[in-house]
Chains A and B, each alone.
Chain A
Amino acid sequence: MRTRVQATLLMVAAALVVVACGGGGGASQGGSETIKIGSLHPLTGPLAVDGKRMDQAVKMAIEDINKAGGIEALDGAKLEFISGDTKGEPETASSEAQRMIDEGAVALVGPYTSATAATIARTAERSQVPFIIDVATADSILAQGYRYTFRIQPGSQTMGEYGARYLKEISEAQGSPVESVAYIHESSEFGTSVFEAFQKEAQRLGIEVVREITYDALNVSDLTSELTQAKAADADVIVATGYYRDGLLLAQAAANVKPDVKAVYGVANGAFDLDTFPEDAGDNGNYYLSSNYHYDATSDRARKLRQRFEERTGESMRTAAVFSYQAVEVIADALERAGSSEPQELRDAIAETSLQTELFPFDGPIEFDDRGQNVNAQPIVMQVQDGEVVQVYPEKYAQEEPIFPATPWSEGR
């Protein structure tokens, strides 16, 4: 009994010595402390494909930072990865966020869908813990005036506006200006908000949206009727906003209906710029254009990161996962500047972020406006060429020239 007390005292003393030696400013935040970062993604359910990769990307970023010496300003404090499954359900996302905050997470990263982002943001705000959105497009999340929520990727407004602008610029540069489009989009807030932003900007640029066609992404099993309506609208281009599964259906239907348009053009489309799309859609997907947020394929850093991720997990690092990785770097950068892992101070440091990134084709550093939106976030245009997704516009980030007009289904155009 006595020896145990002595041993305990000794250990406490030793710990105090270690802390005192390491301690610069805050002795309580010495090298033995870990800083918990919560990763919130759909690890099960239909969205688990990307959710799991995003979770792994958060873990990888944390390990990279720890390997490089942890947070220097906090005496090399290490980050600790904690993970939760939102299942893509708003309620679960909110309770998981709460659990992590109760466990001492100082910042949250997630979540992939707009609906779950909304409830996590509410929870984070209530508990005053910073929340970095890696992927969730709807603008309504940030419109609440939350102080603790930040987003790196472009929102729906930016996606829609750039989508229209890029379409005009590309078509004019290729000598075949677009005057009218038929727009097919999934009917939830994601598709609707992107469509509305596109329509407004298009109108300003002199492009008319002659037909809007919507569908329910969860229940649709054939888009032939929709494509026939788009064909009947007699527009120059078909624009599409949706997810992966319906994107494939659209490519199939377009190949059958063969609308007489100059191009099929995705805006924030979850299918056309994924590596698996040319594989799954086959020839039907040729020449599809897609204006979307994306990692920068021309960047060395992005290439190396993706390579390491693939070696590590055996899966390709899609754009969503690159955003998750970036989100952890934003937190680490803020921790360095704050010199504190206290959530409120961390929040203030994040708000002051000006972080150069080579992972994304953004024309400036990551900087947040007063709503928490990254002001320099912008999409780029990709195209399926020879079975590969390549960046084609803006020129600065282009790997190949855009092919336009691009009628995907006709042999050799």
Chain B
Amino acid sequence: MAFKGRKVSGRSLALLGLGIAALLVLVWGGDALSWARDNRVVLVQALVTGLLLGGVYSLVSMGLTLIFGVLDILNFAHGAFMALAMYASFVLVANAGFDPYLSLLVSVPLLFVLGVLVQRVLLARVMDQPHENQLLLTFGLALLIENALLMVFTATPRTVEFPYAQTGIPLGFATVRGPLDVFGAVADLPRVIAFLGSLVIAGGLFYLLRRTSLGTAIRAVAENPDGAAMVGIDVRRMHMIAFGLGTACVAAAGTLVLPFLSLQPTTGEQFNVIAFVVVVLGGLGNVVGALVGGILIGLVQELGGAFVPGVDKLFFVFVVFVLTLLLRPQGLFGGKP
């Protein structure tokens, strides 16, 4: 069901585009075009913001979809794991003077191990049980983590400073100072770094899944657990690793956004909601779908907000969500339902 190479369905993309275009025409008719001419900067800014944010959405969603693809579990604790990683990084930065980006070296392995343990100790016990039990277990785990964070760190918002705010980023030949100018729009440096970091990590995940024997084994388990077991793959082990990898992805995303978001125990929740939309849009269990879907959702959110000021940006995200469920429930990259 997942990770098989699939082409983007032209029909589904066309439908999606058509839906959005129809919506725009319905609401403004020809006004939209002249409005866009007058508000070039607003539009470009929406594109830039949407793209940058979309990259982070992708990384969060990839972890979620990987877990679903391999273990067939919708992990409601995904956002809570993100918050946990953010607090881990926060402690390193605030108490040990780490560079926030260097703290990736701790938060990502830490959450990988935690993911493996959670799968081994908790989820492994309910793998054969009905879906509800797994959902409730991960949901309970989310509440547990969030409230534990609340107990330890209180709800006081924490912030971590962007380390290169004053000095700029030395690149050898030049020093990059933020914010960058993109055709009149601005791109904040920490957001650009989060976007690029997300792409790099996504690339690493693809490499691992496609080019290594471990990745092949994971994909085999996702495709057909019984068959994989028959040829000698340790299915339980692959489940553990997949869950660990999914959690590591969201940990990386959390640490990457830390320099520009303030942190509270519930910070992960907002990403959790978006990630579910992205995963459905991209096709459940499809990692490529999550990457494209994340960026698409980021763009939809920001462009929608720019075209229709006064409406919440997430309105358009959920319009796309509902359209996807109606027109192509298997998602853009999913096969036949």
Mark A residues whose CB is within 8 Å of B: 44-49, 52, 187, 211-216, 218-222, 224-226, 228-229, 231-232, 244-245, 248-249, 252, 256-257, 276, 280, 282
Tell me the residues in window 65-117 of chain B with beta carbons closer than 8 Å to chain A beta carbons.
none
Find A252's partner among B50, B150, B260 (CB 8 Å cutoff).
B260
**In the complex, what distance in Å separates the CA atom of A244 from the CA atom of B274?**
22
A225 with B45: in contact, given A256-B186, A257-B186, A282-B161 (CB under 8 Å)?
Answer: yes
Nearest CB of chain A from residue B271's CB, rounded to whole Å: 8
Instruction: Mark contacts of B300-317 with chain A using CB atoms, 8 A cut-off: 1 yes-contact digit, 0 otherwise.
Output: 001001100111111000
Q: Which residues of B contact A229 (CB under 8 A)?
A: 42, 306, 309
Q: Is B191 an interface residue (CB 8 A)?
A: yes
Q: Which residues of B contact A218 (CB under 8 A)?
A: 270
Q: Which 8 A-B pairs have the closest CB atoms?
A: A228-B45, A48-B155, A256-B179, A216-B312, A49-B155, A256-B186, A280-B159, A219-B270
Nearest CB of chain B from residue A272's CB, rounded to whole Å: 14
Q: Chain A at the B interface: mostly helix, strand, loop or mixed?
A: helix
Nearest CB of chain A from residue B243's CB, rounded to whole Å: 26
**In the complex, what distance in Å separates the CA atom of A172 from the CA atom of B48?**
38
- A44: nearest chain-B partner, CB-CB: B150
A46 with B266: in contact, given A187-B312, A225-B306 (CB under 8 Å)?
Answer: yes
**In the complex, what distance in Å separates the CA atom of A228 from the CA atom of B305?**
12
> Contact between A215 and B155 (Cβ–Cβ < 8 Å)?
no
Contacts between the two chains (Cβ within 8 Å), count? 103
> Contact between B262 and A225 (Cβ–Cβ < 8 Å)?
no
**In the complex, what distance in Å separates the CA atom of A211 from the CA atom of B305?**
14
- A232: nearest chain-B partner, CB-CB: B42
Q: Which residues of B contact A213 (CB under 8 A)?
A: 309-310
Find A49's partner among B147, B154, B191 (CB 8 Å cutoff).
B154
**In the complex, what distance in Å separates the CA atom of A48 from the CA atom of B264?**
11
Q: Which residues of B contact A280 (CB under 8 A)?
A: 157, 159, 262
Q: Which residues of B contact A282 (CB under 8 A)?
A: 161, 165
> Contact between B266 and A221 (Cβ–Cβ < 8 Å)?
no
> Contact between B264 and A46 (Cβ–Cβ < 8 Å)?
yes
Mark B residues whose CB is within 8 Å of A: 39, 41-42, 45-46, 48-50, 52-53, 147, 150, 154-157, 159, 161, 165, 178-179, 185-186, 188, 191, 257, 260-262, 264-266, 270-271, 273-274, 302, 305-306, 309-314
Find B42's partner among A44, A228, A248 (CB 8 Å cutoff).
A228
**In the complex, what distance in Å separates the CA atom of A323 from the CA atom of B46?**
41
> Contact between A248 and B270 (Cβ–Cβ < 8 Å)?
no
> Contact between A248 and B262 (Cβ–Cβ < 8 Å)?
yes
**In the complex, what distance in Å separates the CA atom of A320 from the CA atom of B147?**
23
- Extra 19 A-B pairs, beta carbons < 8 Å, given A48-B150, A221-B261, A225-B45: A44-B147, A46-B266, A48-B155, A187-B312, A211-B309, A214-B311, A215-B313, A219-B312, A221-B53, A224-B48, A225-B42, A225-B46, A228-B42, A228-B46, A228-B185, A228-B186, A231-B41, A249-B262, A280-B159
Q: Which residues of A contact B185 (CB under 8 A)?
A: 228
A49 with B156: in contact, given A221-B270, A257-B186 (CB under 8 Å)?
Answer: yes
> Contact between B314 and A219 (Cβ–Cβ < 8 Å)?
yes
Nearest CB of chain B from residue A99's CB, rounded to whole Å: 21
Q: Which of A224, A225, A226 has the most CB of B within 10 A?
A: A225
> Contact between A48 and B154 (Cβ–Cβ < 8 Å)?
yes
Q: Which of A211, A215, A222 has the most CB of B within 10 A?
A: A222
**In the complex, what distance in Å separates the CA atom of A221 from the CA atom of B79?**
14
Nearest CB of chain A from residue B331's CB, rounded to whole Å: 22
Q: List 6 A-B contacts (CB under 8 A).
A: A46-B155, A215-B313, A219-B274, A221-B53, A225-B50, A228-B185
Q: Which of B52, B150, B257, B274 has the most CB of A within 10 A?
A: B150
Find B309's partner among A49, A212, A216, A221 (CB 8 Å cutoff).
A212
> Contact between B265 and A222 (Cβ–Cβ < 8 Å)?
no
